[in-house]
Structures are given as C-alpha cells and as structure tokens.
Amino acid sequence: MGFTVEVKENDGLRSLHFGSAWMQGAMRIDSPFDLVFEYTRVMMAALLLREGDFPKKVLLIGLGAGSQTKFLYKHRPAAHLTVVEIEPKVVTAAKESFCLPDDPVRLEVVVGDGVAFVYQTEQHFDLIMVDGFNDHSHPGDLNTLPFYKACRERLSEQGVLAVNLIGLSDGVKGGFVFIESAFEQRAVRFPRCASGNTIAFAATGAPIDIPLEELQERAAKEDAGLALSLMLDRLATLPDCAEGRLRI
C-alpha cells in the first residue's frame, strides 16, 4: 500500500493527514501563516534563546503542512530556510493546499531523507528544527545518537537545535538521552504539551543563561502570536530552571 496524503477541511481549518484521522499539520484558512498547534509554537521558543539577527540560516527536517516554515518565512524575513521532506506528495500538498511560498531565493525545498541530508551537507545552520515522522508517527533514524551528533556538527557557533519528541510519558526521557549525550548535557526538555508532544532544545557555542522573566519579555516582544506565556511559566517547575533561569 502506498503512502497516502489527504487534505481535509472543517470549520475554517485545513488539515493534512497520512491516511488516518491523525493530523500531520493544519492551517487556519483565514490566517495561513499562524501556528495552529501548541507544540509548533513551543518549538519557536528557539527564537528567544539568542539575541540579534538570529537565525540567519535555518534547516527544517520535515515539512508537513509547512506551518513552521511559513512562520519563519514571515517573521524572520532575513533568514534563509532549507526544508528537507522525504515524501514528494507532502511537498505537493504544502504548495497546493497550504500556501507554502514559492521563493527559491529565501526558501529551498529539498525532497530527500533528512538524516542523509544532515550527514552529507557541508552547510552550517544557526537553527535546526527536527519535526519529521512517518505515517505511523515514528521518527525512525531521526531519533538516534549518530543523527543528533551530526546535527551538532552542522550547527554554527551560536547554534540551537529544536526537536519534537512525540509520545514521551512523564518521567520518561526516551530519545532525549541521545540529545543530552550528543550535546554533552547542554540540552533541556520543556514541559510536555497537552497534545503529548515534548519539545527539546540543545545548544552549541556561548552558553544560554536567561532569567525566566526575560524569556517572557522576549516572547511578548515577538508579537507573533506565539502565546508562550503559560508554557514559559511552567519552566519554573523544571530542575534545570530551579533558580529562575534557563541554562543550556
């Protein structure tokens, strides 16, 4: 049986499905560049971890409905985006049904395997976002120690990695152990989203050491509909943030 990609609409929400009721991506038709799912907004907390014109170069593994790609395209107009998606039908759906911009100067879409791309590329990126799954919602070789080590090698001196670790239970580290190992413990898991997604961040270069109050201020200044206030409040419950600071 071949890979099935379906697009559905209901009450102004257009959604992407891989042959099941499980949404692989979604877009509000009247606001196509907004982020529908909480976990995608939490992944964008990566933008708060560095100051200045961060990021200049972004690699996204997994396209889906293109939500995160479109968000970065709109809110980081100086950044160059490279997206790697293994399934051509997903790329077609994103272009035809989810308003993925056609801008080869700022946005490069590569049809291929994300793991192979990271292993083979000689480029460096300020931000790498990993949100790739097959039709069984499994990340496969994306969630391995060698892959995360390769991601670290492909990050710039001020690089940040953001990963969607779906399906982790409370108290279960799962693939986060690989991220911790690859980045020599310079990693943190945010509290689990209501959907069950757990977002992890890791960093290279200068240490990240930000008061939680300042994170809230940076989120408010983004003015991009991230709605991260409640999630950032929950950071105070993490052992890594016990002193009121996020350190990576």
Q: Which domain holds residue 98?
A: 33-237
Q: Is residue 242 part of a domain?
A: no
Q: Is the pLDDT of residue 140 over 80?
A: no
pLDDT above 70 covers what percent of the chain? 93
pLDDT tens digits, 104-114:
999 999 999 99
Cis check: omega of the bond before 55, within 30 degrees of 0: yes
Q: What is the mean pLDDT of the chain?
A: 91
Q: Is residue 19 part of a domain?
A: no
- So what's the pLDDT on residue 4? 87
Q: Is the pLDDT of residue 143 over 90?
A: no
Given pLDDT bands bounded at 50, 70 and 90, which one contains residue 227? confident
8 A C-beta contact, residue 91 and residue 9 = no
pLDDT tens digits, 53-75:
999 999 999 999 999 999 999 99
Start-to-end Cα distance in the chain: 44
Q: Is residue 156 part of a domain?
A: yes
Looking at this protein, which amino acid is placed at residue 152?
R
Which has the higher per-residue pLDDT, 139 or 122? 122
Given pLDDT bands bounded at 50, 70 and 90, which one contains residue 171? low
CB atoms inside a 10 Å sphere around CB 50: 19
Q: Give me the numbers of helices (H) and strands (E) for the chain, helices first please.
A: 8, 12
Q: Is the pLDDT of residue 205 over 90?
A: yes
Q: Is residue 199 part of a domain?
A: yes
Tokens for 143, please give them: 């969630």
Residue 236 CA to residue 123 CA, distance in Å, equals: 36
- So what's the pLDDT on residue 225? 73
**Catalytic: which of 11, 126, 131, 170?**
131
Mean pLDDT of 82-86: 96
Q: Is residue 247 part of a domain?
A: no
Mean pLDDT of 15-37: 91
99-104 long-range contacts (CB < 8 A, ≥24 apart) are 99/27, 99/32, 99/33, 99/66, 99/70, 100/63, 100/66, 100/69, 100/70, 101/70, 101/73, 103/73
Q: Is residue 76 part of a domain?
A: yes
Residue 79 CA to residue 248 CA, distance in Å, equals: 23
Q: Is the pLDDT of residue 31 over 90?
A: yes
Which has the higher per-residue pLDDT, 242 or 165? 165
Q: For this structure, is 131 an active site residue?
A: yes
**Contacts for 161 with CB less than 8 Å, ≥ 6 apart:** 127, 128, 129, 130, 148, 151, 152, 155, 179, 183, 200, 201, 202, 203
Q: Is residue 2 part of a domain?
A: no
Residue 161 buriedness (CB in 10 A; 0-12 / 13-18 / 19+): buried
Number of domains the chain is built from: 1
Mean pLDDT of 39-64: 95
- What is the CATH classification number for the domain harbouring 126? 3.40.50.150
